[in-house]
Amino acid sequence: MELHKMRATAMAAALLAAAMSAMAADKPESESAPAMAQAQLDVATSAAKKALDELGLQLWGYMRSGAYYAKDGLAKGHYGLGELGYNRLGNEGDNYIEFGIGKKWDVSGAKVGTYWMPYLYNAQCCNASGTKQVYADIAGLAFAPELSFWGGQRYHRIQDVHIIDDWLMEDGDNFGAGVDNIKLGSMGGTLNIAVYNEGNTDNSKTTSNGKRLNVQLRDLVVGPGGTLNLTAGVIRGSFNDKTTSEALGLLYNQKIGVLTNSLFVQGSNGHADLRGKFYALNGSATTTTSSPFICTVTPNPDGSCPTASIAPNPNPTTVTATTFSPGAKQFRIVDAINWQSGPLGGQAMIGYQTIKPQDTGVQTKNFGLGGRVSYGVAPNVKLYGDVNLASLKTEGSSTQNLNKETIAVALAPNTDFWTRPEIRLYLTRVGGNDAVKAAGTFGTRSSALLAGVQVEAWW
């Protein structure tokens, strides 16, 4: 435990020093890109955008893929503890792509769009494919020219923390409909309202008849460089433990020079998760059918029936019992910083999260501290350092502590932290305390050594 605390203190100091160095340098972001390469990229981007605009087409998406290795045949990635204790760089070990295509056109002065995003996922544990988004929208109506009305299945996202691969503030992912971009007048910002049911394109079967209302107040101006986002969710359904569930969330972004600080505070109960989406809906159904045969005489002492005395059961019965998953009380507070100054960029995060299921009342606490720093060492070449410490504690059990360190070199169009696509060569070590080892996280070993080449892109 003392070693874990020392590492956490040292890492917090290092991340603070990196952020302060970025603020002190305060150079234009364009200095990290080779001028000629950037100019050529801008020309190509402009030409491609013009061609797509003329056709009314929109293309967007995300992908990661690569060749991965883990010593001694261990899992090639996804080592973490809880939702906040997973830093993704050099720790994914999977292949994923989602490709969105949309078409927009004008109809009688209104702007209409349809969108589709299929996906493919391949990992050491499992494979999956399906549809992430499929929806339509319409805007520019005469009675509400600024509003956008939509229906279908879509992402409805506000903000993520990239280094842990988690959209902390969003709703969406189910069949729904809503209206976006309701102006708030002198308050600044906009209001989005959406309703959803349980189903989606990959799973239309539901057991809870869940319905939810989500509200997003986005980008309210709070002083110089500050914006506030507020979210709320209300869920009702056929639950045997709670009929109404709620979620509330706050996100405050403050820009200070080259640094942006993001504070998330979220709470929920019942069958609402911290973002206001559905939590623990589907239950399990058990069917019991009585024997189709009966014994017409007294059974033998051993319980068997003479063969000649077996007859069909004239009144067979079937009983089905459904047990729904319990809801939970949940809380989360996360603070993340982002910066880019000249060749130095990065993101760091510290967070704490709790969950207490309603059936057991046994609370689990999750703590995460980590960061990723990038530094441009040459045109189109940047170095990465990524570390995180995580702990997971469930009442009545030992605390699990995990630490992960990654070094990597990446090739990209320029050396900014957020520039993609990039191709990386990485080396990762993941270790844990006795409780982690006892859980078999590393098989019979005390740690895992990972290496690989990975490409990541978004467009």
d(CA 165, CA 123): 16
**Domain identity same for 12 and 135:** yes
**Domain identity same for 319 and 385:** no
**Domain identity same for 160 and 239:** yes
* Owner of token pair 């969330």: 249
Q: Which of 306, 323, 340 is the last residue of a domain?
A: 323
With contact defined as beta carbons under 8 Å apart, do 279 and 395 qualify?
Answer: no
Structural domain count of the chain:
2
Reduce the DSSP state of residue 37 to 3 states and report it: helix
Give the pair of three-digit tokens for residue 447: 């740690």
**Domain identity same for 162 and 292:** no
Mean confidence (pLDDT) of the chain: 88
Q: Summarize pLDDT for 178-234 with one digit per residue, the tens.
A: 999 999 987 789 999 999 999 899 876 667 889 999 999 999 999 999 999 999 999
pLDDT surpassing 50 at residue 379: yes
Q: Which of 297, 323, 349 is the last residue of a domain?
A: 323
**Domain identity same for 309 and 340:** no
| Res 289: pLDDT | 78
219 phi/psi in degrees, rounded to 5: 60, 45
| Res 20: pLDDT | 38
| Res 205: pLDDT | 64
Q: How far is C-alpha 370 from the chain's CA centre?
A: 17
d(CA 267, CA 244): 15
d(CA 326, CA 332): 19
Mean pLDDT computed over 87-103? 97
291: containing domain: 286-323
**Domain identity same for 317 and 422:** no
**Domain identity same for 401 and 448:** yes
Q: Which of 268, 301, 323 is the last residue of a domain?
A: 323
**Domain identity same for 141 and 248:** yes
**Domain identity same for 366 and 294:** no
**Domain identity same for 345 and 433:** yes
Looking at per-residue pLDDT, the higher value among 389 and 43 belongs to 389
Q: How far is C-alpha 299 from the chain's CA centre?
A: 59
- For 426, how many CA atoms within 13 A lie in the half-sphere containing its CB? 34
- Report DSSP letters for 11-36, one per residue: HHHHHHHHHHHHHHH---GGGGS-HH
Q: Summarize pLDDT for 20-72 with one digit per residue, the tens.
A: 344 333 333 333 344 455 566 677 777 777 777 777 899 999 999 999 999 99
d(CA 259, CA 339): 4
Percent pLDDT > 70 in the chain is 87
Q: Specify the range with the lowest mean pLDDT, choosing from 11-25, 212-226, 371-385, 413-427.
A: 11-25
21 phi/psi in degrees, rounded to 5: -65, -40
pTM: 0.83
Q: Summarize pLDDT for 107-156 with one digit per residue, the tens.
A: 999 999 999 999 999 998 889 999 999 999 999 999 999 999 999 999 99
Looking at per-residue pLDDT, the higher value among 51 and 238 belongs to 238
pLDDT surpassing 70 at residue 301: yes
**Domain with 233 in it: what CATH number?**
2.40.170.10
| Res 22: pLDDT | 40
**Domain identity same for 167 and 117:** yes
pLDDT surpassing 90 at residue 278: yes
**Domain identity same for 330 and 346:** yes
Q: Which helix (H) or strand (E) holds 42?
A: helix 35-55
375, 363, 282: which is closest to 329 by C-alpha?
Answer: 363
